[in-house]
Amino acid sequence: MLMILYWILPFILFLMGIFVFVSNRKHLLSMLLCLEFIMLNLFLFLFMYLSLMDYSMYFSMIFLIFCVCEGALGLSILVSLIRTHGNDYFQSLNLL
């Protein structure tokens, strides 16, 4: 029973992150936070899977490095958007 909870909890947290990401949000910062939440849930799931199968944790370290790079790239896009447009609203962006 406890093993089922270990596998269901990251899946439920992942689905909650996807639901919040898909729902309409106004700010880019909230979207970036949702993406980081999804990445942390994927890391939790990957860590549990690798621990269960007795593999090395080298791949989880590489995954964390890619998550940090994705977060830094998102923050740099956010800073450049605020400098050019003055806010981080999606409605103020002109996509054409």
- Domains in the chain (CATH in brackets) are 2-85 (1.10.287.3510)
SS (H, E, C) 14-81: HHHHHHHHHCCCCEHHHHHHHHHHHHHHHHHHHHHHHHHCCCCCHHHHHHHHHHHHHHHHHHHHHHHH
Given this model, what pLDDT does residue 30 score?
85
Digit-coded pLDDT (tens) for 30-76:
888 898 999 999 888 888 888 888 888 788 888 889 999 998 998 89
Higher-pLDDT residue of 18, 26: 18
Is the whole model's pTM more than 0.85, yes or no? no
